[in-house]
Chains A and B, each alone.
Chain A
Amino acid sequence: MTMATVDIVSDDTERLVLAVSGEIDMANAAAMQQELLSAISNQPTSVSVDLSGLTFLDSAGLRILFTLADRLHVLQIEFELVVPVDSVPRRAIELAGFPSLMTLRTPTEPPRAVTVTEE
Chain B
Amino acid sequence: MNHPRPTVSHDTQADTQFEIRLDTDPFWLSPLRAFVTDLAARADFDDVTAADLRLAVDEAHSTMITAAADGEDVIGRFALAADRITVSVELTPSPFPARRTVPTDTFSWKVLRGMADEVELVPDGVHSTLGIRLTKAKAGVRLRRW
Residues of A within 8 A of B (CB): 1-3, 23, 25-27, 56, 58-60, 62-63, 66, 86, 88, 91-92, 95-97
Contacts and interface: CB of A to CB of B under 8 A. Distances in A.
B21 interface: no
Interface stretch (B6-14, B58-66, B135-143): B58-66
| Interface secondary structure of B, over-half rule | helix
19 contacts: A2-B26, A2-B27, A3-B30, A25-B29, A26-B66, A27-B26, A27-B27, A56-B55, A56-B58, A58-B55, A58-B59, A59-B62, A59-B110, A66-B107, A88-B51, A88-B52, A95-B114, A96-B111, A97-B110
Contact of B107 (A3, A27, A63, A91): A63
A27 B30 CA distance: 9
Q: How large is the interface on B (under 10, 10 to 19, 20 to 34, 35 or more residues)?
A: 20 to 34
Given A25-B29, A27-B26, A27-B30, A60 B115 contact: no
A26 B110 contact: no
B2 interface: no
